[in-house]
Amino acid sequence: MTNTYYVYALKDTRVTPAQVFYIGKGTGSRATDHLKRIDDTRKGKHIQNILDAGATVIISKIVEDITEEQALKIELEFISSFGTIDNGGTLYNSVIPKSISRKIDSNVSVAIGSVEKAQLGLKLLKDSITSLAEENPEGITNSDCAHYLGLQSDNEGNQQDYLSYSVLGLLLKEGVLESAKVGNRRKYKKL
């Protein structure tokens, strides 16, 4: 592993002190890319509003020379700490896919940052399974995912590898993987 990653914050200078509105991780010019190519996300729209007001966006590297795994952990902690605008926080990060709808149950309390942690964890699981599929073009099984990625579960002595199966299902729905029956097993391949 190389220590080429960093974690950065984007800050809005319209307020004093400048307010953090985005946390990210990357390598190379990732932090400055947000200002070079302003996209149509809520983060991009916020950047455009700042610039239209004649203010500037401060790019602040928080931690440098770390591994990707370290960067992901630190990014997660900062996003969880600040919270997103979805849960009353200040960050314009879009870590929660818009396709996810949640049933609100007044009997359930969700700690600030829990949803963001879950969605970032899900992204990491998806990336790991996609990488496994890319490395095995002949296809992978749910059992392969559970075994080789350490996702096996133990339900009173029975293996119930529902976690990997659920993530495979999401990747199929998103069109990242395709599925085919091979003998008596189902194999998943990268599209």
The string of DSSP letters for the chain reads: ----EEEEEEEETTSSSPEEEEEEEESTTHHHHHHHS--SSHHHHHHHHHHHTT--EEEEEEEEEE-HHHHHHHHHHHHHHH-BGGGT-SB----S-TT------TT----TTHHHHHHHHHHHHHHHHHHHHHH-TT-B-HHHHHHHTT----BTTB---HHHHHHHHHHHHTTSEEEEEETTEEEEEE-
- Read off the pLDDT of residues 124-170 as tens digits, 9 standing for 90 and up: 898 899 999 999 999 999 999 998 998 888 777 676 788 898 999 88
- Read off the pLDDT of residues 38-95 as tens digits, 9 standing for 90 and up: 998 999 999 999 999 999 999 999 999 999 888 888 888 888 888 888 878 899 987 6
Whole-model pTM? 0.56
